[in-house]
Amino acid sequence: MQPQEGIRLGRFDCRYYSGVTVRRTTSTAALVAMLLAIGPPAPARAQPAERFEPSFLLPVDPAWTVSLGSSPRHDPAFDGERAFLALRNDDLVAVDLLAGRRLWTVEQRLDQPPAAGDDVIVAASGGRLDARRAATGSLLWSTEFEAAIVVPPLWNTGWLVVATAAGRIVVLRGFDGAELWRRDVNSTPTVRPAIAGNRLFVPLADGRIVVLALGTGSVIWERELSGRPQGVLPLDALYVGSTDNHLYRLASEDGAIHWGWRTGGDVIGTPAADVDHVYFNARDNVLRALDRRNGARRWRRPLAGRPADGPIRIDSIVVAAGISPTVELFDAETGRPRGSYRATGELAAMPHVIPDARPPAPHIVLVTRTGDVIGLTAGVGPTQLSLELPPAPFLPRPFAVSLADLVDWFPLHRPGRPSPAAGAPSPSGGAGRVPLLEAPGAAGPSR
C-alpha cells in the first residue's frame, strides 16, 4: 500500500493507505488500535549466500612473458603445448607454452590466420598453402590454388579444408596435401567452416549455410538466413549467429529454424554451449546466455570492451574478451562476475585455455596487440614462511615395565614371579598391591 497524504494525529504524523481510512482523533486507544490493525511490515526473507563452484581458472599468476618484437597480424593458432603467430614483420613464430620461449622463426607472410593440428602448421598466402612441421618449422609440402584463399584454413583430425575466392571448397589430406574432393558453392564463405561427425558446415556470404558430406562433398541441405551467417556450433542442433542481429537454432536434419533471438547488434564469432545454455556475444557489447531448447534468455552481462569473437565456456566459467586489456570471467549458471584479469595491453585474440595444464605450466595464454605472449598459471598466493622447530631433546629410554606393573587390579600372584611373604606389606603400602610406577634407579622404600 502506498501512502496517499499526511494528517496530524496528536503528537504523531500519520498517513492513510488505500483501503485503510484514518480519521483525526485525540484518543490514544484509537491510535494503538489503528497501529495494531495495520501491523508491522513482514520481515525481509534472508537471501541465501551465493555459492560458486570452484574453478581451476581462478586465481591466476603470471608465469612468463615472451616479447615477439612485432604485433600479430592475425589470430594465433595453437597445437598442444605450442602457439603459432603471424607477425606484421612477415615472420611466422612458434612459442613453447610450457617454457615460455621461442621455438623457431621463419620468414613468411600470411594473408589468413594459420591452422594447426597433429604437429602440423598450415599457412595461407594468396592462393598458396604451405604446411610445416610444428616442432621445427621445416617445410612439409606446398600447393597452389587458382584463386586466393578467403577464410582461415580448417584443420580437424587430419582433414584440411580450404575455401577460395572462386566459391570453391577444397578438402585435402593434411599430412601430405593430397586433394580429396572439391565442390563449387557459388559464393565465398564468410568465416572458417566447421566439422562435426561426417558433415562439413560452410557459412556463405549470400546468407546460406551449406552442409556437405565430409567424405564426398555432396550437398546434404542448405538454409538461407536474412543476414550473413557467422561461426557455426554443430551439436544436437546448429547454433549460429548472423548479421541480421539474430542467434538461430537450426535443425541438424534439414536446417529448419527452431527459434531465433534478436539482439541489439550483429552476433559475432562462434557461440559456446553446455548442457543447458548457449552463450554468445553481439556488437551491442553484451554477453548473453539462452536456454538451448527454447531460446529463453537466462541472463545477460554488459562487457568492458567490444568483443572480437565468441565466448569460451570451460569448467564453471564463461570467458569473454575483446578489444580491451581486460579478460572477464562470469559464472556460467547465473552470469554473476567471477573475476577479471587485466593484461599489459589490448588483446589481439581470445584467451587460449589449456585445461589439463599443471603448475608451473600456464593454463591461460594471452596475446596482446603489442606482441607480448603472456602465460598465466594457477595462483598460489603469497609465499608461506616455513616453521622450523628446534630438535627434540634427548629423552631417557623408558624402563622395562609390563602392563601388569602399570595397573593395580592384576592379581598379585602372576606366573613366573615369586610370591611375597604372607602378610608382608607391599611397596605401595597396601597389602597385596603392586606399585603403579617406580622411577628407574630410584632407591627402594626405607626400612
Q: Which amino acid is at 192?
A: R
Mind listing the pLDDT tens digit for each residue in 296-310? 999 999 998 899 999
pLDDT in tens, 3-13: 444 433 333 34
CB 131 within 8 Å of CB 162: no
Q: In whole angstroms, what is the distance from residue 148 CA to residue 163 CA?
A: 9
Which letter, b or e, does each residue of 420-443 get, where b requires 16 or more Cβ atoms within 10 Å of its Cβ?
Answer: eeeeeeeeeeeeeebeeeeeeeee
Q: Three cell numbers at 388?
A: 622450523
CA neighbor of 327 nearest in space, from 314, 315, 318, 336? 318
Q: 283: which residues sit within 8 A by CB, 6+ positions away?
A: 265, 266, 267, 268, 306, 307
Predicted pLDDT at 378: 85
**Nearest alpha carbon to residue 350 among 312, 381, 391:** 312
When the pLDDT of each residue in the chain is averaged and rounded to a whole number, the result is: 83
Q: pLDDT digit string (tens) for 155-212? A: 999 999 999 999 999 999 999 999 999 999 999 999 999 999 999 999 999 999 999 9
**DSSP states along 302-346:** E-SSEESS--EEETTEEEE-EESSEEEEEETTT--EEEEEE-SS-
Q: What is the pLDDT of residue 191?
A: 96
**Res 405: pLDDT:** 55
CB 246 within 8 A of CB 260: yes
Average pLDDT over residues 224-249: 97
| Lowest-confidence region among 42-51, 178-187, 229-238, 342-351 | 42-51
For residue 314, pLDDT beyond 80:
yes
**Chain centre to alpha carbon of residue 314:** 3
Residue 160 to residue 172: CA distance in whole angstroms: 5
What CA–CA distance (Å, rounded) separates 91 from 110? Answer: 9
Please indicate, yes or no, whether the overall pTM of this predicted structure exceeds 0.85.
no
Question: Is the model's pLDDT at 425 over the cut of 60?
Answer: no
Q: What is the DSSP letter of 10?
A: T
Angstrom distance (rounded) from CA 378 to CA 357 = 9
CA dihedral 105, 108, 109, 111 (to 10 degrees): -100
pLDDT of residue 408: 54
| Alpha helix stretches (DSSP H) within 112-202 | none
How far, in Å, are 260, 348, 385, 388, 445 from residue 391 at the CA level? 72, 56, 18, 9, 37
- Residue 156 has what pLDDT? 95
Distance (Å, rounded) from C-alpha 65 to C-alpha 380? Answer: 18
pLDDT of residue 436: 47
What per-residue confidence (pLDDT) applies to 47? Answer: 55
Q: Please compute the mean of the pLDDT values over residues 367-394 and round it to a whole number.
A: 74
Percent of the chain exceeding pLDDT 70 equals: 73
Indicate the domain borders of the chain: 3-35
For residues 88-97, give the mean pLDDT.
Answer: 97
β 91-96/82-86 pair status? antiparallel
Residue 55 pLDDT level (bands cut at 50, 70, 90): confident
The answer on pLDDT for 17 being more than 90 is no
Q: What pLDDT does residue 8 have?
A: 39
pLDDT of residue 18: 39
Residue whose C-alpha is closest to residue 229's, from 245, 250, 243, 210: 243
User: Cα dist. 400→174, 397, 409 in Å?
Assistant: 79, 9, 19
State whether residue 431 is helix, strand or coil.
coil
Strands 120-125 and 128-133: antiparallel
**Residue 356, pLDDT score:** 84
Please tell me the predicted confidence (pLDDT) of residue 383. 57
Listed range (28-32, 121-125, 343-347) with the worst mean pLDDT: 28-32
Give the closest residue to 59 by CA, choosing from 381, 436, 393. Answer: 381
pLDDT band at 291 (very low <50, low <70, confident <90, very high): very high
d(CA 374, CA 330): 21
